[in-house]
Amino acid sequence: MTLLEQLRKMTVVVADTGDIEAIEKFLPRDATTNPSLITAAAEMPKYSQIVDDTLRGARAELGASASPASVANLAFERLAVEFGKRILAIVPGRVSTEVDARLSFDTAASIAKGRQIIAQYETAGISRDRILIKIASTWEGIQAAGVLEKEGIHCNLTLLFGLHQAIACAESGVTLISPFVGRILDWYKKDTGRDYAAAEDPGVLSVRAVYEYYKKFGYKTEVMGASFRNTGEITELAGCDLLTISPGLLAELDATEGVLPRKLDPALAATSTVERIPMDRAAFEAMHEENRMANDKLAEGIAGFSKALVHLEDLLAKRITILDAEAVQA
C-alpha cells in the first residue's frame, strides 16, 4: 500500500489547493483554500472563465458607472466562493473559505464577513454544514469565530502557531484549527541555523502538543495540521484528526510504498499528564508576547495573505477593464 492509502485509514486527508483539477485527481474528503491559493488559481489560464464570469456578474450588479476598482472589489469577495462551489461539486465533505485577512483584528467585521460568505453559499443552495469559515487565530478572530459557531456557522481557525491560540480556539467552541507545521519549521531553521529531522521538527512537536492537550481535556475542536514542507512532517503526524496537504506532497505520498505507523492516538493522548492552562485575553496576550515564533509568524502570515488579496484585486481591476472594452466593441 502507498503511504497515502495508509494515511487515509487513520486521518482525514484534505487537499490544500484552489486547483480544481488537482482536487479531482486526489479526491480528498475536504478541501481548504486561502488568499494565496485563490490568487494562484485565478491566474491559471484554465480558470479564466470562472474569473471572467465572476467579474461580469459584479459589473452587472454594480452597473456601467461603477469603477473597475469597485467591480474588482465585489468580484474578489465572490471569487473564493465561486471556487468553493466548484470544489464542493467534487468533494463529499467541506470546503474552507477565508475571511479577508485585513479584518483579522476586527471582531465585528469578521463576523459580518463570515455571515456574508455563508449567505452566498446558501443562496447557491449549499448547506452551511459544508462550509468552514476560515479566520486568522488572533484574539479578535477567535472571538468572532465563537459568535459564528453559536449561529451554526462552523469555523476553521488558521495561522495558528502556539498552544495559547489552540486553547483559546477550543474554549470558544471552534470546529477546527489549522496549526501551520511548515511555517513553524521555517522560523526555527532561520532562528537556529540548523536542520531538523522529522521526529524533532518543531512544527510537528507543536501539533502533537495541541493534539495531546485537546484529547486530554476532551475538547471537540478538530486538529488539522497544515502548511507542510515535506512528507516526513506528514508521516510523523499520522493519526491526527485531519491533515491538509498540497497536491505536490499528495502525489509524493501516493507514489511511495512502505509501512506507515500511527503516531497520534486519542486514547494514548488522553493519558497525558499535561496540566490545564486557564485562558483569557490577558493570558493569551502574555503567552503570545513570550512566544517569539508565534508572534512573528502570525504577523507575517496576515501580512502575506493581505498582500495576496491586494494583488488579486489589482489583477481583477485590470481584467474588468479589458472585459468592459470588449463589451463596448461588441
Per-residue pLDDT tens for 83-114? Answer: 999 999 999 999 999 999 999 999 999 999 99
- For CA atoms 129, 6, 18, 23, the dihedral sign is negative
H helices present in the chain, as ranges:
3-8, 20-26, 35-42, 48-62, 68-88, 107-123, 139-150, 163-171, 181-192, 202-217, 231-235, 247-254, 266-269, 281-290, 292-329
Classify residue 322: in a domain, yes or no: no
CATH number at residue 155: 3.20.20.70
Classify residue 39: in a domain, yes or no: no
Per-residue pLDDT tens for 3-38? Answer: 999 999 999 999 999 999 999 999 999 999 988 889
Q: Cα(234)–Cα(231) distance, rounded to whole angstroms?
A: 5
If one counts every other C-beta atom within 10 angstroms of the C-beta of residue 323, the result is 16
pLDDT of 77 higher than 90: no
Catalytic residue among 134, 215, 263, 297: 134
Classify residue 320: in a domain, yes or no: no
Classify residue 182: in a domain, yes or no: yes
If one counts every other C-beta atom within 10 angstroms of the C-beta of residue 190, the result is 10
pLDDT of 76 higher than 90: no
Classify residue 22: in a domain, yes or no: yes
Q: Which of 152, 105, 96 is nearest to 128 (CA)?
A: 152
Q: Cα(224)–Cα(215) distance, rounded to whole angstroms?
A: 14
Q: Cα(59)–Cα(2) distance, rounded to whole angstroms?
A: 48
Q: Cα(75)–Cα(18) distance, rounded to whole angstroms?
A: 16
- For CA atoms 214, 250, 104, 282, the dihedral sign is positive
Q: Cα(185)–Cα(183) distance, rounded to whole angstroms?
A: 5
Classify residue 220: in a domain, yes or no: yes
134 is a catalytic site residue: yes
Q: Cα(304)–Cα(35) distance, rounded to whole angstroms?
A: 9
* Average confidence (pLDDT) over 116-137: 97
Classify residue 50: in a domain, yes or no: no
Residue 6 one-letter amino acid: Q
Per-residue pLDDT tens for 169-216? Answer: 999 999 999 999 999 999 999 999 999 999 999 999 999 999 999 999
| Domain tally, the chain | 1
Residue 257 one-letter amino acid: E
Classify residue 72: in a domain, yes or no: no
